Amino acid sequence: MWAMIVKEYRQLRRDRRTLAMMIVLPVLLLVIFGYAARFNVSTISTVVVGPQAEQVAAQLQAPFHVVEIDPGGDRSVAALRLKDGRAVVAVVTGRSSVLFLMDGTQLFPVETAESALGRMVQRAKASGITPPPLTVQILYNPKLITSWVLVPGLAGLILVFIGTLITSLGVVRERQAGTLEQLAVTPLRPWDVIAGKITPYLLVAAVDLVVIVAVGMILFHVPFIGSVATFALGAALFLLVTLGMGVLVSTVSQNQGQAIQLAFMVMLPQILLSGLIFPISSMAAGVRWISYILPLTYFIDISRGVMLKGAPISALWEPLLLLSVLAVVVLGLAMLRFRRDLAPSTRRSRTSITTHEQLAA
């Protein structure tokens, strides 16, 4: 048995990536759970519109964080702010009443807002002040059904799984079989190889997405009230990023075990930090920035926006633009690394390469 232990230890010592994962992952989990995994919401972005907007905004206390005051605005302006994701709560003030519109796609912030509102009213009454009649209206997910919020995000998560893990395994399998080396000597350009590798996965993932959304709609009665084209555009951009990440993972993995480990490292932050489970607004600022470089964060904005809120493309330009930037960056990096793998001899200037075409010229 001793020989077995020694052998295993030596193998583990040389497998730096596994060792790093065994040490880094618990630290990563601790940081994520410690700073990011919080259900309690301390800040709720709020807009206040209507003739009494200034006065009402002045009375709002934490967790309400007023990001916009528009005395000339009305209910439609308030609803628009919720639809484009600029605020979770929109307060519409009238001459004698106040309407609180809340974005039902944000479960925890809405629950926090409701209870904070209740406390504010109680405090006012205790001080002998009679508050104006308050009406709360939850939009997009009035019953705050969890599955309505989770299904659009889960669709993205499944695409991350297919895009990153399955694609990286496909490329690494080619490298392990020695066929990638052979492809490097064929007329195929690196871009042809990447496009050829990811296109089937893109199609499978697209079919998968349709099935997931359909199942969500049929089993969980999740609404789909927005534009299919906008959703498809967001999904296509998101898939390009995840597939690019898969290729990127494959370029730094020598075998399928390493690819699985790395893909897991890429997927874990997306599960925990994208806003799928924990609200981004409740994460510590030091960790929150990670959320903003994760593609799933933006896909969740788009899928929830389109499916639950019916958000038009104009309201989603920001996540769509950021996904496009991520797609360009990730695919560009994947391309560069893949090119290095496939055509190393073209990288050094001192080397002279004479091909038949050059000689003929």
Partner 1 sequence: MTWGLQSASVRFGQTPALTDVTFLLEPSTVTVVVGGDGAGKSTCLRALVGLVALSTGEARRPGRRQIGYVPATGGVYPDLTVDENLAFSGGVYGERGATLLDKSSATLERFGLVDAHSRLGGHLSGGMQRKLALGMALLHQPALLVLDEPTTGIDPLSRSEMWRIISRAAAGGAAVIVTTTYVDEAQRASSVLLLEQGRVIAQGSPSSIVGAIGGTLGVAHSATRPAGLSWRWGRAWRVWAPSGPLPDGVEPLQPEFEDAVVIASMADRRGEQLDV
By CB under 8 A, tell whether 185 contacts partner 1. yes
Rg of the chain over Cα atoms, rounded to whole angstroms, equals 26
List CB contacts of 137: < 8 A, sequence separation 6 or more: 99, 100, 101, 102
User: To the nearest whole angstrom, how small is the minimum distance from the Cβ of residue 325 to partner 1?
Assistant: 32
Q: Which of residues 134-163 bind partner 1 (CB under 8 A)?
A: none
Edge-first strand listing for the sheet containing 134-139: 64-70, 44-49, 89-93, 98-103, 134-139
Name the strand (E) or helix (H) holding 136: strand 134-139
The β-bridge relationship of strands 134-139 and 89-93 is unpaired
Residue 126 or 185: the one with the smaller Cβ distance to partner 1 is: 185
CB of 25 to partner 1, least distance (A): 30
Judged by CB under 8 A, the stretch of 156-164, 235-243, 310-318, 343-351 that binds partner 1 is 343-351
Select from 5, 178, 218, 361 the one that contacts partner 1 (CB under 8 A).
Answer: 178
Query: In this chain, which of 20, 177, 195, 214 binds partner 1, going by CB under 8 A?
Result: 177
**Cα–Cα dist 173/255, whole Å:** 7
Beta-carbon count within 10 A of 329 CB? 13
Residue 171 carries which side chain, given as an amino acid letter? V
Residues 201, 240 contacting (CB under 8 angstroms): no
- Residue 77, both tokens: 């302006």
Among 186, 199, 254, 314, binds partner 1 (CB under 8 A): 186
Kindly tell me which residue out of 67, 136, 184, 335 binds partner 1, with binding defined by CB under 8 A.
184
Q: How many CA atoms lie within 13 A of 46 on its CB side?
A: 31
CB 88 within 8 A of CB 46: yes
Q: What minimum distance in Å lies between the beta carbon of 320 and partner 1?
A: 36
Residue 354, interface with partner 1 (CB under 8 A)?
yes
* Alpha carbon distance 74, 81 (integer Å): 11
Least separation, in Å, of the C-beta of 356 and partner 1? 4
User: Judged by CB under 8 A, does residue 14 bind partner 1?
Assistant: no
Assess 254 for contact with partner 1 (CB under 8 A): no
Is 343 one of the binding residues for partner 1 (CB under 8 A)? Answer: yes
Among the listed residues 181, 221, 292, 293, the single contact to partner 1 using CB under 8 A: 181
Report d(CA 118, CA 126) in Å as an integer: 12
Binding segment for partner 1 (CB under 8 A), chosen from 17-25, 172-180, 239-247, 256-264, is: 172-180
CB of 175 to partner 1, least distance (A): 10
Cβ closer to partner 1: 118 or 196?
196
Tell me which residues touch partner 1 (CB under 8 A).
177-179, 181-188, 343-348, 350-357, 359
